[in-house]
């Protein structure tokens, strides 16, 4: 699908969409428990892929009045009777690859063309060291992946520089292993807040993960634990809300976003980013309300190590800010649904913005974006970020807009409700 976007001003009040990251993990932990209710889940293409995968392992999941009611498998996944298709969800693939190791048999996982090109070798290597037989059918570290359980546990190293999802996946599976597991992180661990989210939800299910940071990072996971998540409320999502907050800073008189409470989400850093760039931001942490008012923005230095999903948002903010913004420590952003560093460099350049792309960074000189025909790269975060740039520039088209269903299905309708001028072309 392709949309046209005209110059817009935005103003109003919206509820933050609930968190995709928390929803994925809560569904899986709930499925590994006995009986569980997940309240206010984000129901998107990605999280529904996780629901379908959990059902293939034997969980029963019903949507009742907007909540997910789960009859779980008590830590004992059955062997799926069909291939698990994760669609476009990298999170589902990585987490379910580890969960597959708990089944007493072979599981095959695959996904769409994008998923079949995303790297998973660090997770495959770690699982093999934990006495699971795991291999890529094309020997390239990508899906389709075959997993032959059952997970015994032991010691393993995991490369933390590519994706924190590998670590989260192991932390979710290893408490159910037959022996204790010691997991040592090699290199700099990127996206650490997502691992913290995983540990937070596991803790609420009564699962213990010990973290040793005396010399590097080690996770010590006791074996034969039980999952007991009973009732869980999914928090608001700072990743998705970042587009709403950035819209106010770029082109609105004000926007109020409800449902943003303090949590382990690293992307709450968007509050600090906006303040550093000069926006007028007020966060009532007790009420979970963030108010942003437009002011002249200025360039900053942004370290993307812990918060890769904010890179597209920061890039469009940089495009309209005065001066230069450097987005650094960002090589891992190239391994998302698409190479997001390259995608943002290409598309902002089409809009007349000076962008210097390097292996680990983007350097963006702010200006006045001009209308252009943009490619969304079939990537929800690229599409949503470029929509904001189009609302500044006007006379802009973006394709592959249907990809927003991955994380924020109501994005365009909600943007239009606060003043965005967006029309369907085809």
Give all strands of the β-sheet with 373-374 in edge-to-edge order.
Answer: 373-374, 396-399, 2-6, 421-424
Q: Residue 272: enclosing H or E segment and its boundaries?
A: helix 270-277
Contact of 185 with 164, CB cutoff 8 Å: no
Task: Output the DSSP codes for 381-408.
Answer: HHHHHHHHHHHHH-SEEEE-GGGGGGT-
User: Could you tell me where the DSSP H helices lie in 309-397?
Assistant: 311-320, 340-350, 380-393
Q: What share of residues in the chain are helix, strand, coil (percent, to 5)?
A: 35, 25, 35
Task: Output the DSSP codes for 47-97.
Answer: HHHHHHHHHHTT-EEEEETTEEEEE--TT-PPPPSS-EE-TT-HHHHHHHH
In the set 85, 309, 379, 399, the catalytic residue is 309
Question: How far apart (Å, rounded) are the C-alpha atoms in residues 416 and 275?
Answer: 25
Question: How far apart (Å, rounded) are the C-alpha atoms in residues 235 and 422?
Answer: 29
The count of other CB atoms within 10 Å of the CB of residue 203 is 11
309 is catalytic: yes
Torsion angles phi and psi, residue 28, rounded to 5: -65, -45
Question: How far apart (Å, rounded) are the C-alpha atoms in residues 49 and 178?
Answer: 28
Q: Where are the beta strands (DSSP E) in 1-50?
A: 2-6, 10-15, 35-39
Contact of 261 with 236, CB cutoff 8 Å: yes
3-state secondary structure 106-130: EEEEECCCCHHHCCCHHHHHHHHHC
Name residue 218's beta-bridge partners.
184, 212
User: Could you tell me where the DSSP H helices lie in 177-217?
Assistant: 192-204
Nearest to 357 by CA among 323, 401, 311, 313: 311
Question: How far apart (Å, rounded) are the C-alpha atoms in residues 91 and 184?
Answer: 21
Provide the annotated active-site residues.
309
């Amino acid at each position: 699908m392709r949309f046209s976007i005209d110059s817009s001003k935005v103003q109003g009040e919206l509820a933050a969409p609930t968190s995709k990251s928390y929803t994925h993990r809560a569904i899986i932990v709930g499925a590994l428990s006995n009986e569980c209710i997940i309240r206010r889940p984000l129901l998107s293409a990605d999280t529904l892929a996780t629901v379908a995968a959990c059902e293939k392992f034997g969980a029963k999941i019903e949507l009742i009045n907007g909540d997910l009611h789960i009859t779980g498998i008590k830590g004992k996944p059955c062997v799926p009777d069909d291939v698990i298709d994760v669609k476009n969800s990298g999170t589902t693939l990585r987490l379910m690859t580890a969960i597959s190791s708990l089944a007493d048999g072979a599981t095959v996982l695959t996904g769409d063309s994008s998923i079949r090109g995303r790297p998973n070798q660090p997770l495959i290597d770690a699982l093999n060291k934990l006495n699971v037989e795991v291999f890529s059918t094309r020997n390239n570290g990508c899906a389709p992946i075959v997993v032959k359980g059952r997970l015994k546990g032991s010691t393993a190293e995991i490369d933390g520089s590519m994706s924190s999802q590998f670590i989260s996946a192991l932390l979710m599976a290893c408490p159910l292993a037959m022996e204790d597991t010691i997991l040592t992180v090699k290199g700099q661990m990127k996206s650490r807040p997502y691992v913290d989210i995983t540990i937070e939800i596991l803790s609420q299910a009564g699962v213990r993960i010990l973290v040793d940071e005396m010399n590097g990072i080690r996770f010590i996971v006791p074996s034969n634990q039980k999952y007991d998540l009973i009732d869980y409320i999914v928090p608001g999502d700072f990743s998705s809300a970042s587009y709403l907050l950035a819209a106010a800073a770029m082109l609105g008189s004000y926007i109020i976003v409800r449902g943003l409470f303090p949590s382990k989400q690293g992307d709450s850093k968007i509050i600090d980013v906006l303040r550093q760039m000069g926006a007028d931001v007020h966060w009532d942490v007790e009420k979970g309300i963030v108010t942003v008012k437009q002011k002249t923005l200025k360039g900053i230095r942004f370290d993307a190590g812990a918060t890769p999903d904010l890179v597209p948002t920061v890039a469009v903010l940089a495009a309209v800010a005065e001066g230069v913004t450097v987005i650094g420590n960002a090589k891992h952003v190239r391994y998302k649904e698409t190479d997001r560093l390259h995608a943002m460099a290409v598309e902002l350049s089409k809009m007349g913005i000076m962008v210097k792309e390097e292996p680990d960074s983007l350097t963006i000189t702010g200006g006045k974006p001009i209308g252009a025909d943009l490619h969304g790269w079939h990537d929800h975060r690229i599409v949503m970020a470029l929509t904001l740039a189009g609302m500044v520039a006007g006379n802009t088209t973006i394709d592959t807009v249907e990809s927003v269903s991955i994380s924020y299905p109501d994005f365009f309708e909600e943007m239009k409700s606060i003043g965005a001028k967006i029309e369907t072309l085809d």
